[in-house]
Amino acid sequence: MSTTAGPGRTLRRIGPFEVPAIGLGCMNLSHAYGVPPTPEAAEHLLRTALDEGVTLFDTAALYGFGANEELLGRVLADHRDRIVLASKCGMTGVDGRRVIDGRPDTVRRTADQALARLRTDTIDLYYLHRVDRQVPVEESIGAMTDLVTAGKVRALGLSEVSVATLRRAHAVHPIAALQNEYSLWSRNPEQGTLAATRELGVALVAFSPLARGFLTAAPPDPAGLPAGDIRRAMPRFDARHYPANLTLRRRLDEIARDAGRTLSQLALAWVLSRAPHVVAIPGTRSVAHLRENLAVLDLRVAGEALDAAGAVLNSATVHGPRYNEATLAEIDTEPCGPAG
């Protein structure tokens, strides 16, 4: 049985840093989910997050092809001593296209560009966003190690990788964080990386813990998703699978109501209950939703409710893989659930 979730304001460790169990994923302020908010709205969201005690802010060179790093630089540069700033290399925008490139020269160049956009001398946590299958991970991590030596980066991370790749990278330089998708409907970390990160002293940073908006009060209507929204290409949101997933969601909603929590709070509490080295980075454009998510730090959710939620939605019950075939081919994580 799951233990009762109620992490309070207890801090969790990422390498040399201690952060609240919930940080902020900043991608959707510039990228991936249709038309981004206005700069004013995005800046207000970030400032509110600061005021509400968020200290871990997560961005990447890819997000908005640099625009997200620039946004965080504008808002957060004057607060560097209060925050842990995370960004990523290895996947960027080139001539309007997403490109995976883990070559050492590209890693170093991307880092210098990130430092300029973020208006900082040092990035606290720098991830390899994707493993470039044409470049041994040891070479990419070697270049990132050089960044640590030069004082441009404090700690290293990996994103969307397997246990084997984590161990190979960790042998080159200590890895502080592994960022993988983890939620009620995406259980890939349970195929090995959850245990391996615990063994190695690596934080598991869960992105999309609310299942890309599916586990919120207003789940997306796939028919109304704007052009460019990445969920249009995700099988779990297509007409073959989405109705069945909505049926599961309705049962989760009942569990949340019985527990006196919102669905988002139940879903976040479930992720945080998996292990004390798990940190979640939900993203949002809504100040109200930001506060709803952060309230989980001060709430308790009974283990019975967490177990019930996990039984309703999991890798065996979810309908559809998390990515289409082309994207799954780029991902190094262990497969889990329908077709990966």
Whether 6 shows a pLDDT value over 90: the answer reads no
> What pTM did the predictor assign?
0.96
Per-residue pLDDT, 117: 98
The residue to which tokens 């246990």 are assigned: 163
Classify residue 31 as exposed, middle or buried by CB count within 10 Å of its CB (0-12, 13-18, 19+).
Answer: buried
DSSP 152-214: SEEEEEEES--HHHHHHHHHHS-EEEEEEE-BTTB-GGGGTHHHHHHHHT-EEEEE-TTGGGT
How much is the pLDDT for 2? Answer: 52
Catalytically annotated residues = 63
Q: Compute and round to an integer the Cα radius of gyration of the chain.
A: 19
Residue 60: CA count within 13 A, CB half-sphere: 26
Task: Provide the pLDDT for residue 34.
Answer: 86
Give 4's DSSP letter. P
**263 band by pLDDT with thresholds 50, 70 and 90:** very high
Give yes or no for a contact between 107 and 136, defined as CB atoms under 8 angstroms apart.
Answer: no
Question: What 3-state class would DSSP assign to 62?
Answer: coil
Q: What is the pLDDT of residues 203-236, one digit of tens each?
A: 999 999 999 999 999 999 999 999 889 999 999 9
Q: What pLDDT, on the 0 to 100 scale, is given for residue 1?
A: 45
Per-residue tokens: 253? 């909603």
Domain 13-214+274-300: give its CATH superfamily. Answer: NADP-dependent oxidoreductase domain (3.20.20.100)
Which residue is associated with the tokens 């980075």? 281
Average pLDDT over residues 292-301: 96
Q: Return all residues near 71 (Cβ < 8 A) that are at least 6 apart.
A: 26, 29, 30, 39, 42, 43, 46, 64
- Return d(Cα 71, Cα 248) in angstroms, integer: 37
DSSP label at residue 2: P
Average pLDDT over residues 35-62: 97
pLDDT value at position 10? Answer: 84
On the question of pLDDT at 3 being above 60, the answer is no
Q: What are phi and psi of 94, to 5 degrees?
A: -130, 115
Q: How confident is the model at residue 30 (pLDDT cuts 50, 70, 90)?
A: very high
Sequence spans of domains, the chain: 13-214+274-300
